[in-house]
Amino acid sequence: MLSFYLFFIYTKKSYPTMSCTKKQTKSERTPQEKENLVKQGNGKRLGLEGDKDLKFLLDGGNLVKIRSGSWQKSRFFRLQEDCETLSYDSQKILKKIKTYSINEIESVRKGRESEGLNKHTDPCDEDRCFSIIFNDRKKNLDLMAASPEEADQWVNSLEKVIGNMRNLDHQQKSEHWIISCMRKADKNGDNMMSLKEVKHFLRQINVEVSDAYAEDIFKKCDESNSGTLEGPEIKLFYSLLTKREEIDVIYGKYAKTDKQMSAADLLEFLQKEQRQVVTIEEALRLISKYEVDPVAKENKQMTKDGFLMYLHREEGFILNPAHKPLYQDMNQPLNHYYISSSHNTYLMEDQLKGPSSTEAYIKALLKSCRCVELDCWDGVNGEPVIYHGYTLTSKVLFKDVIQAIKNYAFKTSDYPVILSLENHCTLEQQKLMAHYLISILGDALLTKPLGKTVPTSLPSPEELKGKILVKGKRLNKLDAAFNHNVITEDETVSEEDEAADVTKENGQKPKSVKSKIKLAKELSDIVIYCKSVHFNSFEHSRDNQSCYEMASFKESKAFHLAEASGTAFMHHNMDKLSRIYPAGSRTDSSNYNPVPMWNVGCQIVALNFQTPCKEMYLNQGRFLPNGFCGYILKPEFQRDPSSQFHPNKLTKGPWLKKKNFHIMVISAQQLPKLNKNKEKSIVDPLVKVEIHGVPADNGKKETHHINNNGFNPMWNQHFKFEISVPDLAILQFVVEDYDAASQNDFIGQYCLPLTSVQNGYRHVPLLTKRGDPISSARLFVHLMLLDAQ
């Protein structure tokens, strides 16, 4: 089905507008009138036709762009006619127009919340400032309006357009993307397409075809023999282009009622192909929800367009829609959950000379990270700072980080945030740290135990909702919080110095890894449920440590324990929290594989969030379900004291549920061009399918590559995986651009727990390396998880 918008823009007929009479033809319209038509069409597509906020952005206005205290210049910003591109004149010698895609914007933040605005503007200008934050490493746009009212108008208008763009369904996003490519190919802007422009358009959408094929499809559509495609001819061209043969075959098999699907036909499809246990009522519900033809809907039938709409919506995605919202029991003790966790959260890049930033904390928290790290050192003017000690990384004020955490801790998830302190400060600056934690975080900071008696188990995420916990050294047991023991500052062993690990592993001479420091009582007293202790052995921890005492393990130590004493490690994690952190030798901020740590029940498996990599894809997938809240309940056998599970030595038990996992990679749609500056650079896509879980389940399959087609490549390749412990398995898709001479280039990825996968024909939405959606890009697969015979 072609949207009204596409037909509206590319039509030979005229439509009455405020500036166009019925007799006026398209060729007679002025450039301004054509531009108005485009704006109207785009506004209608976004559901904002005639909207005053959209008009405000299209008209544009002057804003002060701020880079430093001395570089603050006025620029004219506006939303372009496509309603998807924000632009301004750079005012350089060549008068180059700088553009930003609306799809690239992560958020718009009101006030002086960015580091740049906080540093380079006056507090009295708070209400005039706002920042545009982007998904990737692109620098923020820090801006100042002429008045608070104008700043509000910009922020509200941008948020409305961004929100409406994100709320488009897949079909609308697909059409929008194709229309954008059409407009770029329409070099002379006459809303017609010549053969040359058709060839240019095909390259825009990431497909290379022979001249003969391009001419053939052009002739089929050029019914008027005019040498250009116009109006209904473009509609025909669009239909031929977006025809999906695999959908035709599937639909045709079940459309047994006047070549349409009746409710009974749809029910048969749901039961046989999608393996759903449903009744006729579910089929009727889907028809009512997704059928686009009113006559078919009235007759309780589903057309092919309605069927495709269903496959492109939540019910047709690979992620079980029942697992998307919060669905797990959140009343178990804290240590019964995997907790999304970050290492060296303050860093934007590498561990040796990269910048430290409050923005890194904001980005991690908005990704539902629930445990962030703060490496605290004495700073100048008595102000504690955060940076990677013994290195050239830049420094950020401790109080600024705490303020950022206060502002963003619960934007994405209401469940508790843990601040993992590595404390290297003197007593005076420790006291100031405690002051900032208490005064800035206020009631959100947990400063005393929840109950009236010494705890024998940790509280649940539900009980700690909206709370921020401090993990660090404590001068005494938690009993002191109940009997009011008075403890003065005393010498204590600090947590293992991770910064010193870096220099140690790189051959430099560090300070002692276990140096003793004085610990301020004020800081000690706000460590409640996450007291840092040294790990000696599992037996020692069991016999001598309380549930609120926890150890941190360097990856090499943790991996050794998981391999040699997997069952004991798992039982340790049934009673206490464990934190795992990357080796100091990972100066490039690379990551270790988190899966073996989850396999033995470790909760705080800290990764370098700033580094987009395969390990972070797995982390994103692990925490994708359950409302993206940052907490995932561990399987029952990792919480049951009688369990003898060992991931490397599988024996009979409730964890052993042998399955055969069949997957057919059928096709992909609208993969992004990797080199947009080279028109003839077309991807040769292939798909890697991997299972990550216990060692016996790990597996990897790969399709062949398709030459010169990123628009609608088709593989139809079947793979089979044998699974022993499905509760711990993660399914990963990675799409790459094949290169015979060098390493393949990344196109997109998607991960999710195998237990959250839906059977049947499913679309897989693709994400960037950093976990952001790639608009309209999808895989189409068929999945079947069956009991092994």
Half-sphere CA count of 84, side-chain side, radius 13 A: 19
Q: How far apart are the first and last CA of the chain?
A: 44
**Is 404 exposed, middle or buried (CB count within 10 Å of its CB: 0-12, 13-18, 19+)?**
buried
782 catalytic? Reply is no
Measured between alpha carbons, how far is 150 from 178 in angstroms, rounded to an integer? 34
**Cβ(261)–Cβ(307) under 8 Å?**
yes
Q: What residues form DSSP beta bridges with 750?
A: 733
Query: Encoding tokens for residue 460?
Result: 């649940």
Task: Give the distance, in angstroms, between the CA of residue 129 and the centroid of all CA atoms in the same chain.
Answer: 27
Residue 171 CB: number of other CB atoms within 10 A? Answer: 18
Nearest to 736 by CA among 701, 771, 687: 687
**Cβ(475)–Cβ(519) under 8 Å?**
yes
DSSP 354-389: PPB-HHHHHHHHHTT--EEEEEEE--GGG--EE--T
Measured between alpha carbons, how far is 612 from 72 in angstroms, rounded to an integer? 32
Phi-psi region of 105 (alpha: psi -120 to 50; beta: other; left: phi over 0): beta
Query: Encoding tokens for residue 362?
Result: 């904001």
Longest Cα pair distance anywhere in the chain, in angstroms?
A: 94
**Cβ(265)–Cβ(284) under 8 Å?**
no
Half-sphere CA count of 466, side-chain side, radius 13 A: 3
Amino acid at 409: A
Catalytic site residue from 176, 323, 388, 424 = 388
Query: Encoding tokens for residue 697?
Result: 């389940």
Nearest to 719 by CA among 789, 762, 778, 666: 666
Query: Encoding tokens for residue 313?
Result: 């919506």
Measured between alpha carbons, how far is 231 from 223 in angstroms, rounded to an integer? 11
Catalytic site residue from 170, 200, 323, 343 = 343
**Cβ(764)–Cβ(778) under 8 Å?**
yes
**Cβ(666)–Cβ(719) under 8 Å?**
no
Query: Encoding tokens for residue 116?
Result: 């740049």
Task: Give the distance, in angstroms, between the CA of residue 445 and the centroid of all CA atoms in the same chain.
Answer: 27
**Is 261 exposed, middle or buried (CB count within 10 Å of its CB: 0-12, 13-18, 19+)?**
buried
Three-state secondary-structure class, residue 396 = strand
Phi-psi region of 503 (alpha: psi -120 to 50; beta: other; left: phi over 0): alpha
DSSP 423-459: E---HHHHHHHHHHHHHHHGGGB--S-SSSS--SSPP
343 catalytic? Reply is yes
**Cβ(417)–Cβ(372) under 8 Å?**
yes
Measured between alpha carbons, how far is 602 from 336 in angstroms, rounded to an integer? 9
Q: Which residues are catalytic?
A: 343, 388
